[in-house]
A and B are shown apart, each in its own frame.
Chain A
Amino acid sequence: MCIVLRMSIGHTLLGLLESGPRHGYDLKRAFDEKFGHDKPLHYGQVYSTMSRLLKNGLVEVDGVEAGGGPERKRYAITEAGITDVQRWLATPEKPEPYLQSTLYTKVVLALLTHRDAADILDTQRAEHLRLMRILTDRKRKGDLADQLICDHALFHLEADLRWLELTSARLGKLAKEVLPS
């Protein structure tokens, strides 16, 4: 769970860097403003994530302001970083309850980086329905216990799909809110 969270923060920060180089504190502010309403990032998380991304060649230091300190570094995304964000956005999440916050992040980042957000929602929708088919098939062949267990998962997946459809219908409105006018 912790690793998933770290990965997700890394990709999100990378995505935010696509619009141009930023300092660490600027990245934290952008993250908190767009995605961190309930859970703002700690500075420590930003810098540990950035040094990992630096080590993996996904970002590079674009400049260092006088005064030293890691917080003075300005980061820029590399070509490998852009490819990494693209891959992350295009890969559907494993369907599970309450994944909307990750999906919401992906959708907003897609809008911010002028990628096809509708495509991300459709890819996720297809992945959800794929799992629903597997569960429906298991339910058909199983006993009552199987049916009840599968039904519980199916109802959650159905709720996710409703959210995907609703978000898909509201993409234009969301784009107006998140994109700088």
Chain B
Amino acid sequence: MTPAGSLLTADGLRKAYGPTTALDGAAFSIHPGEVVAVMGPSGSGKSTLLHCLAGIVRPDAGEITYNGRSLTGMSDAALSALRRSEFGFVFQFGQLVPELTCLENVALPLRLNGAKRKDAERTALSWMERLEVDDVRDKRPGQASGGQGQRVAVARSLVTNPRVLFADEPTGALDSLNGERVMELLTDAARSTHAAVVLVTHETRVAAYSDREVVVRDGKSRDMERLV
């Protein structure tokens, strides 16, 4: 079943790591411009769901469709190209390259896609301004605060104008105030570019920035929207 107008859908996803079942028939769908929170207890399978949706992990069974194309039948090279061009990623720890400046970090995805340095850095700087971290452009990630570093990571994830942004516990390492600011800026930026956001979080205050919530328990998903 594919909800009409969905950008990314998954159905009947199963994934096991050895004897441990991570996903047991999970389903998911998201529309362009929608922010969907994926919640659930530790070990429930929510990160595995995100990794499958993003084409990082191949499910053992089930179907994933992105923009009308089946992800499950794609080659590794095609998946990798899709991730680079259409998807953006933010993780709990920014995973910025420590040797590069913050500006170079944000510009990196554009440079990897073949953009010239000047062009890449100009676009990167406009994203840093939007995320209110242009003042750390020449600093290395180690010289920025945790909140600033995470906002640099968000800027980097959005610099290629992805159609889907995957955020796995993006505020997990931040205090409340910094976490909320990151969520405000992240969701504002994603909505303005009409990107869909798959937001994995265990914090309900972070999930409250979403439009809809999917709960994963024991590898099964439940769309909470249908309960209200």
Chain A residues touching B, range: 20 to 34
Complex: A140 Cα to B181 Cα, angstroms = 10
Is B224 interfacial (CB 8 A cutoff)? yes
Contact between chains at B227 and A122 (CB < 8 Å): yes
Contact between chains at A125 and B209 (CB < 8 Å): no
Contact between chains at B224 and A126 (CB < 8 Å): yes
Binds B, one of A61-69, A98-106, A130-138: A130-138
0/1 string, A110-135, CB within 8 A of B gives 1: 00000000000011011111101101
Contact between chains at B222 and A129 (CB < 8 Å): no
Contact between chains at A126 and B208 (CB < 8 Å): no
> Interface residues of A: mostly helix, strand, loop or mixed?
helix
Contact between chains at B184 and A130 (CB < 8 Å): no
Task: List B contacts of A168 (CB < 8 A).
Answer: 217
**Interface hits, A129-175 → B, CB 8 Å:** 129-130, 132-133, 135-136, 140, 154, 157-158, 161-162, 165, 168-169
Contact among B184, B204, B211, B227 with A132 in the assembled complex (CB-CB below 8 Å): B204
Chain B residues touching A, range: 10 to 19
Contact between chains at B204 and A161 (CB < 8 Å): yes
Contact between chains at A126 and B225 (CB < 8 Å): yes
| Residues in B lying within 8 Å of A, measured CB to CB | 41, 184, 204-205, 207-211, 213, 215, 217, 222, 224-225, 227-228
Complex: A158 Cα to B184 Cα, angstroms = 18
Task: List A contacts of B184 (CB < 8 A).
Answer: 140
Contact between chains at B208 and A154 (CB < 8 Å): yes
> Whose C-beta in chain A lies nearest to the C-beta of B226?
A126
> Could you list some 9 contacts between A and B, CB below 8 A?
A122-B215, A123-B227, A125-B215, A126-B225, A128-B204, A129-B213, A129-B224, A133-B210, A157-B204
Contact between chains at B208 and A129 (CB < 8 Å): yes
Complex: A133 Cα to B210 Cα, angstroms = 7
Complex: A27 Cα to B22 Cα, angstroms = 45
Contact between chains at B41 and A127 (CB < 8 Å): no
Task: List B contacts of A158 (CB < 8 A).
Answer: 204-205
Question: Given A140-B184, A165-B41, A169-B41, are A132 and B224 neighbors across the interface (CB < 8 Å)?
Answer: no
Complex: A132 Cα to B39 Cα, angstroms = 15
Question: Given A122-B215, A169-B41, are A127 and B204 neighbors across the interface (CB < 8 Å)?
Answer: no
Contact between chains at A127 and B208 (CB < 8 Å): no
> Whose C-beta in chain A lies nearest to the C-beta of B184?
A140
**Interface hits, A16-63 → B, CB 8 Å:** none
Task: List B contacts of A128 (CB < 8 A).
Answer: 204
Contact between chains at B204 and A129 (CB < 8 Å): yes
Contact between chains at A126 and B204 (CB < 8 Å): no
Question: Given A140-B184, A165-B41, A169-B41, are A126 and B228 neighbors across the interface (CB < 8 Å)?
Answer: yes
Contact between chains at B213 and A126 (CB < 8 Å): yes
Question: Given A122-B224, A126-B225, are A136 and B208 neighbors across the interface (CB < 8 Å)?
Answer: yes
Contact among A130, A136, A140 with B228 in the assembled complex (CB-CB below 8 Å): A130
